[in-house]
Amino acid sequence: MKKTISLLLIICFFVSNCAFAITDKKVKEKKKETPKVTAVKNKFEYINIEWWAKFNDENLNKYIQLAVNNNYDLKMATNVVEEYYQSIKIQRAHELPQVSAGFAPAFVSSRSFEQMRMNRNNSLFAVPVIVSYEADIFLKNPDKTKSAKKTYEISLTDERASYISIVSAVGSLYFNIVKLNKLIETQETIVNCRKEISDLMDLSNKEGLVSTFETVRANESYILGNTHLTEYKKQREYLLNKLAVLIGASPEEAESLEITPYDDISFDGIIPDEISSEIITKRPDYIRSEKMLEKAGIDVRVARKEFLPTIPIFGAMVFNAGKLGSLFTTSNMLWAAGGNVLASLYTGGAKKANLKIKKAEFERVLNNYKKTNLTAIQEVNDALASVKYDTKKLDDNLQNIELETKAFELTKLKYDEGVASRLDLMQREENLMNINQMLVNEKMNCYLDYISLYKATGAGI
């Protein structure tokens, strides 16, 4: 009677999942000593921080460091890496035996008149232990573990791509703010010039020296200059707010962000005229496409092995006694072990369809790999072309600014000698400021091109 009840308790225990994992203390200690696998010890290795130092800007370096440490998108990318790392452990656990145990007390009461009269009741205590293991002779689970590892490696490349992207965004925003600060400064000079020109035109119109049409045009130019100044200030405020968020600060702190003046920034790095196509192998998206291709191949192999039979092995042992004191004795122990071979005879075509899906995924990933190669080369070439032509435009504007500066100095000299009018001087100064703005745009565009090339090469320049 006790043996029958004990076996029933094992079945109930197994079905109801009232189990807990038995972990050896030595295994726990060993796991604590095992170092955690991480992409890099220092996240700054992702972004080639030495390259950013070539701009010789302490504020830029400070904001890049703040972004690496505080940006929430980057923190989430690191969280995803941790999730996939733990997924490897879950999958690896499927390769190991599963052990569960529990405690199952019972109370057996007989309904016979004689036993009721004698008030005889039987207590029963059982400790079932169940072991299950799949004899994976076809190595399906190890292949699934390899697939999980590839997913983890893909998450590492995604994390690196996120760091490069965020840091590039910080650099681009920063230089756009530097540009806007300089444009605002020159635009204020332009507005002052146009204001004075407008006043002079009003006086000249009253004296009949210029037409009303010319006077109106001068007033319109002054108003338009104010409009441009307001727009520049609005854009700067937007960019400051974005920069604050990227570095993990509140937008309320945006106005307090320190920006190095335009004239104090210089780049002392070397931008190559040509770059080997091998540089694309350092790009995160290229590495990601390779890992995805490897994973897709493993998944196809796993789908094929799903057609093979499984060989589950199980064992059960129960300590069974009417008193707790005699529970763990060999005389009160029952055990059983067995195994079987299971093969799917009919699944409605599910496994065949799954194999076809995995093959289609492999072809899709292969095409994505080829596309990634072409896109990467295109982006590097585009970035090099932008650097080349924007540098040429910058050189042309440097020549223009020299000529316009000389023209302004000559006009000022004529004004001092009484040969040129105040109106001529103001118009020449306005022209100088307009060309100066063009120069600011071209110089900052070159810096933005450098960042685009940095990003296109996967921070490999």
Instruction: Read off the CATH number of the domain in which 10 is found.
Output: 2.20.200.10
Do 393 and 325 share a structural domain?
A: no
Do 157 and 22 share a structural domain?
A: no
Instruction: Indicate whether 275 belongs to any domain.
Output: yes
pLDDT in tens, 172-220: 999 999 999 999 999 999 999 888 888 888 888 888 877 888 888 889 9
Instruction: Indicate whether 47 belongs to any domain.
Output: no
φ and ψ at residue 260, rounded to 5 degrees: -70, 135
Instruction: Indicate whether 46 belongs to any domain.
Output: no
pLDDT in tens, 291-342: 999 999 999 999 998 888 888 888 877 766 666 666 666 666 777 788 778 7
Cα angle for residues 250, 251, 252 (degrees, 5° grid): 85
Count up the domains in the chain and report the number.
Answer: 2
pLDDT in tens, 3-54: 444 444 444 444 333 333 333 333 333 333 333 334 456 788 888 999 999 9
For residue 426, the enclosing domain spans 52-95+136-308+343-456
For residue 80, list its beta bridge partners: none
Q: What token pair was written down for 443? A: 């110089």
CATH of the domain at 232: 1.20.1600.10
For residue 131, list its beta bridge partners: 99, 315
Q: How far apart are CA 204 and CA 114, in angstroms?
A: 132
pTM equals 0.81
Do 258 and 142 share a structural domain?
A: yes
Give the closest residue to 328 by CA, choosing from 339, 320, 317. Answer: 320
Do 241 and 230 share a structural domain?
A: yes
Do 121 and 77 share a structural domain?
A: no
For residue 319, list its beta bridge partners: 127, 333
Give the closest residue to 66 by CA, choosing from 258, 265, 264, 235. Answer: 258
For the chain, give the mean pLDDT. 83
Do 228 and 115 share a structural domain?
A: no
Q: How far apart are CA 99 and CA 59, in angstroms?
A: 58
Do 301 and 173 share a structural domain?
A: yes
pLDDT at position 169 over 60: yes
